[in-house]
C-alpha cells in the first residue's frame, strides 16, 4: 500500500510543471544559456533545443550555451578550490564579452549551486549572491534581451554525505522566487520540482539518485533524468504543449521519425558550438577543451543544421555521416 501511494505521488510530480507560461516571442532568434558546470554539461540545453526543433520546425532559433564549470555569480571562491590550481571563475569577468559577441534576444541564467561554496549558510555569502544576481540582471536587460532566472538545481545531500547544503540552496531558491513579486522578474523554478521528484522516488527506492554526471557521485551534477526535469520545466514555462507530461527526451524523440538521429546531431552540434563560443569569448578557466575557431565551427554548424532539416523532412542520413 505504501509503495502504491508513493508511486502515485511520483506520477503526479512528473506531470507537474511551471505555470504562467511565457512563450518565446516570434522575434527571438538567439537564446543564450549562462550557468556553471551543470549548464556546461549541456544535457538540459540539448533537450530544450531538440524538443523545439522537432515540434516547431519553422522557428529556426539559435541556442547558445556558454556555461562554465565552477563559475559563480557571487565572485566567491573557497580556499584551495580545485586543489589550489585556480579560483572559481567569476561571471563578472566575462559577461560583457559574452553579451557583446552573442547578442542574445533571450537569456536563461542558472546560478546558486556554487555560490554557497558548499558550506553552511552564511549571510555574507548570501549577500554576495544577491548582489551578483542584481548586477547580472541589470547587465543583461540593458542590452534589450529578455532574462529568465533559473533557481539552482537540487543538491543530493544523501549521496554526497552532506546534510545541510541543499537547505542553503532552498534559501537561495526561495529568495529568487520572491523576486517574481518584488521586482516583477521572470524566475523559473527547477529546484523544487527536482527536489520533490528525488524525495518521492527515494521513498520507494532508498538507492535512487539524480546525480551521475561523469560518475562524480558528488550530489551536484544531475544525470539525464535530472537534466530532463530542468528541460521540462523550461519547456513548460515557454508554453510547449506536451512537455509537462513527457517522460524524457529519448522517449519523446523515439516517437518522432528520425528523432534519435536528430537528437544525436543536436547534441554534437551544441557541444561543438559551446566549446567554440567559450574559446571566442575568452574564458579563463583551465582544463576545458580548446574548441574550434568560431568561424570554422559556424561553417560546420551550418552543415549539421542542413542535416537536421533533412531529417525533419523525413530523409535518411547518409550512413557515412556521423
What pLDDT does 320 receive?
39
Answer whether residue 3 shows pLDDT above 70.
Answer: no
HSE-up of residue 21 (Cα within 13 Å, Cβ side): 16
Contact (CB, 8 A) for 175 and 130: yes
Question: What is the rounded distance in angstroms from the CA atom of residue 69 to the CA atom of residue 89?
Answer: 8
Question: How would you classify the pairing of strands 62-65 and 146-150?
Answer: unpaired
Contact (CB, 8 A) for 230 and 44: yes
Contact (CB, 8 A) for 140 and 99: yes
Structural domains of the chain sorted by starting position, each given as residue range(s) with its CATH number in brackets: 2-312 (3.40.50.1110)
3-class secondary structure per residue, the chain: CHHHHHHHHHHHHHCCCCCCCCCCCCCCCEEEEEECHHHHHCHHHHHHHHHHHHHCCCCCCEEEECCCCCCECCCCCCCCHHHHCCCCCEHHHHHHHHHHHHCCCEEEEECCCCCCCCCCCCHHHHHHHHHHHHHHHHHHHCCCCEEEEECCCCCCHHHHCCCCHHHHHHHHHHHHHHHHHHCCCEEECCHHHHHHHHHHHHHHCCCCCCECHHHCCCCCCECHHHHHHHHHHHHHHCCCCCHHHCCCHHHHHHCCCCHHHHHHHHHHHHHHHHHHHHHHCCCCCCCCCCCCCHHHHHHHHHHHHHHHHHHHCCCCCCCCCC
- Sign, Cα dihedral of 275, 280, 285, 289: positive
pLDDT (mean) for 245-261: 94
pLDDT (mean) for 27-55: 96
pLDDT over 70 for what percent of the chain? Answer: 88
pTM for this prediction = 0.90
Of 45, 267, 69, give the one whose Cα is nearest residue 150.
Answer: 45
Answer whether residue 20 shows pLDDT above 60.
Answer: no
Determine which of 88-102, 138-152, 211-225, 293-307 has the lowest per-residue pLDDT on average. 211-225
User: And the C-alpha cell for 306?
Assistant: 542542413
Answer whether residue 16 shows pLDDT above 60.
Answer: no
What pLDDT does 201 receive?
86
What pLDDT does 316 receive?
64
What pLDDT does 217 receive?
66
What pLDDT does 158 receive?
86
Answer whether residue 318 shows pLDDT above 60.
Answer: no
What pLDDT does 21 receive?
56
Answer whether residue 127 shows pLDDT above 60.
Answer: yes
pLDDT (mean) for 252-277: 97
Amino acid at each position: 500500500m505504501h509503495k502504491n501511494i508513493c508511486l502515485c505521488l511520483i506520477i503526479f510530480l512528473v506531470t507537474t510543471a511551471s505555470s504562467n507560461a511565457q512563450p518565446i516571442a516570434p522575434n527571438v532568434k538567439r537564446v543564450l544559456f549562462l550557468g556553471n558546470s551543470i549548464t556546461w554539461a549541456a544535457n538540459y540545453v540539448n533537450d530544450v533545443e531538440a524538443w523545439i526543433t522537432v515540434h516547431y520546425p519553422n522557428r529556426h532559433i539559435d541556442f547558445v550555451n556558454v556555461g562554465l564549470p565552477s563559475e559563480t555569480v557571487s565572485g566567491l571562491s573557497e580556499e584551495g578550490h580545485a586543489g589550489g590550481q585556480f579560483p572559481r571563475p567569476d561571471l563578472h569577468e566575462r559577461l560583457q564579452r559574452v553579451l557583446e559577441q552573442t547578442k542574445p534576444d533571450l537569456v536563461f541564467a542558472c546560478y546558486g549551486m556554487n555560490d554557497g561554496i558548499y558550506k553552511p549558510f552564511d549571510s555574507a555569502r548570501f549577500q554576495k549572491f544577491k548582489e551578483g544576481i542584481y548586477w547580472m540582471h541589470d547587465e543583461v536587460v540593458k542590452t534589450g534581451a529578455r532574462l529568465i532566472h533559473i533557481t539552482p538545481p537540487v543538491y543530493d545531500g544523501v549521496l554526497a554525505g552532506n546534510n545541510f547544503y541543499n537547505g542553503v540552496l532552498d534559501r537561495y531558491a526561495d529568495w529568487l522566487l520572491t523576486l517574481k513579486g518584488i521586482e516583477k522578474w521572470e524566475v523559473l523554478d527547477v529546484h523544487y520540482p527536482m527536489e520533490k521528484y528525488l524525495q518521492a522516488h527515494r521513498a520507494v527506492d532508498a538507492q535512487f539518485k539524480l546525480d551521475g554526471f561523469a560518475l562524480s557521485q558528488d550530489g551536484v551534477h544531475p544525470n539525464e533524468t535530472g537534466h530532463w526535469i530542468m528541460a521540462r520545466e523550461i519547456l513548460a514555462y515557454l508554453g510547449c504543449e506536451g512537455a509537462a507530461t513527457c517522460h524524457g527526451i529519448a522517449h519523446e524523440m523515439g516517437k518522432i521519425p528520425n528523432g534519435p538521429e536528430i537528437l544525436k546531431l543536436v547534441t554534437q552540434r551544441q557541444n561543438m558550438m559551446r566549446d567554440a563560443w567559450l574559446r571566442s569569448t575568452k574564458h579563463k578557466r583551465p582544463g576545458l577543451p580548446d574548441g574550434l575557431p568560431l568561424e570554422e565551427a559556424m561553417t560546420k554548424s551550418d552543415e549539421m543544421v542542413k542535416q537536421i532539416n533533412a531529417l525533419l523532412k523525413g530523409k535518411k542520413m547518409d550512413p557515412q555521416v556521423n
